[in-house]
Amino acid sequence: MKLSVIIVNYNVKTLLEQCLLSVERAMQAIEGEIIVVDNASADESCTMIQEKFPQVRLLANKLNEGFSKANNRALRIARGEYLLLLNPDTLVPEDCFDRCIDFMDRHPDAGALGVRMIDGGGHYLPESKRGLPTPWVAFCKIFGLTRLFPGSRRFAGYYLGHLPNDKTCPIDVLAGAFMFMRRRAIDQAGLLDESFFMYGEDIDLSFRIGQCGFQNYYFPETNILHYKGESTRRGSLNYVVLFYKAMLIFANKHFSGQHNGLFKILIKLAVYFRALLSVLSRIAGVMVSPLQRLRPPFGTGSPKRALLIAARERFGACQKMLNNSPTRYQPLELMAPEKLEQTARAVEAFAPDVLIFDLNSVSATLIIQTMDRLCRSNIHFKIVGL
């Protein structure tokens, strides 16, 4: 068997459904398997999988075991030559796995690879490529130097900002949202460290793969959509505490002496610093709330001008789904799924507020390419279907 795709799910049923459809399409010509580990979701995710994706191997946990333990449960039974850890809030293009397998087959030194990721607004996600979080790199990230100097080799080491986003290159750390790994590398490096409940486990595993003599690669020849934060609240203080606790586990495991002590000091400072920012943010939120009432968020107020990209026979079903949405839409035009240039011209002609894709009749490749191209146009994107 060539490929095992492993997805850990927790209460993101709708996104998981879209993810599984895109994964199935990408595996059409590949001998492989899909394994979903559900961490005790309360949104009927398991029922959806059983009814709509009966070929998926479903492992239903009675408790939320965390990311590492759930993935390890699947890794122990996976049969593929290559193993992919994939987040449920992702969408992969139809040729994604073929490209990854071809690269790994041609580069026997590659232990794992990560791809170029964009978020739900079409913007490039800097965590697509990362460096090892040494004390200096951690200091720059914690205190904002990485953000102030995003292209600096000295200050932006966490996101490797000095490396081009469109060139394949060796890197230290892959994102857990998409880790495409060689089984032989995992056999030598070991499974995910279950000391990490959430966050940091991808850094640790990437580091151990490198220690075993393999190279990790950033591979932007294929792009994926990663909504990022749909199954976790990354802006919350709770996220900050969990993330930096994970960094402490990493430091205790891999750093010693002065480096370990310095790292611990930085982590504690980071938690206090981010806690202060969180409090100030809440105060500022209270102060600006009257202004927010004057500027309603997207999805409220007047109907949103929508350009629907769908096959004509799917228009009625899509319209029904939109009518049941809390957001009111005013369909401007129905457009059959065509090439990217035609979609871009239609957007320029109609100037919609939102571009809506029907995943049943539009390829994930076209959706991702269009979002990537139009990310600076102030257009919102929505994917419907199934």
- At 88-103, the pLDDT tens digits run 999 999 999 999 999 9
Task: State whether residue 114 is helix, strand or coil.
Answer: strand
Phi, psi of 241 (to 5 degrees): -60, -45
Which has the higher per-residue pLDDT, 286 or 37?
A: 37
pLDDT band at 291 (very low <50, low <70, confident <90, very high): very low
The predicted-structure confidence for 108-142, as pLDDT tens digits, reads as follows: 999 999 999 999 999 999 999 999 888 788 778 77
Q: Is the dihedral of CA 306, 312, 316, 318 positive or negative?
A: negative
Residue 293: pLDDT band with limits 50, 70, 90: very low
Domain stop point among 232, 251, 283: 232
Please, which residues have CB within 8 angstroms of residue 209's CB and are 6 or more apart in sequence?
111, 112, 181, 185, 186, 189, 216
| 189: Cα separation from own chain's centroid | 23
Handedness of CA 115, 120, 124, 126 (dihedral sign): negative
**Is the domain of 143 the same as that of 13?**
yes
* Out of 29-38, 129-138, 336-345, least confident range: 336-345
42 and 72 in a single domain? The answer is: yes
* Percent of the chain residues topping a pLDDT of 70: 88
Same domain, 56 and 168: yes
Q: Are residues 209 and 162 in the same domain?
A: yes
E strands, the chain, in order: 3-9, 32-39, 57-61, 82-86, 90-91, 110-118, 169-171, 178-182, 215-226, 304-309, 329-335, 354-358, 380-384
Q: Provide the 3-class DSSP secondary structure of residue 268.
A: helix
pLDDT in tens, 192-211: 998 876 678 999 999 999 99
Same domain? 175 vs 260: no
Q: Is the pLDDT of residue 292 over 70?
A: no
One domain for residues 84 and 42: yes
Range of the domain at 136: 3-232
Q: Please count the structural domains in the chain.
A: 3
199 and 105, same domain (yes or no): yes
Q: Is 299 a member of any domain?
A: no
Domain of residue 341, CATH code:
3.40.50.2300
User: Which is nearest to 217 in space by CA: 202, 206, 204, 203?
Assistant: 206
Residue 81 dihedral angles phi and psi, to the nearest 5°: -65, -35
Residue 335 has pLDDT above 90, yes or no: no
Token pair in block for residue 16: 């998981």
* 251 in the same domain as 149: no
More confident residue, 377 or 12: 12
| Rounded Cα–Cα distance for residues 149 and 140 (Å) | 10
26 in the same domain as 132: yes
75 CB-near residues (< 8 Å, 6+ apart) = 6, 83, 186, 191, 192
- Do residues 147 and 251 share a domain? no
Q: At 216, which CATH number?
A: 3.90.550.10
Q: Are residues 142 and 66 in the same domain?
A: yes
Give the residue-averaged pLDDT of 72-99: 98
pLDDT tier for residue 264 given thresholds of 50, 70 and 90: confident
Q: Which of 275, 294, 313 is the last residue of a domain?
A: 294
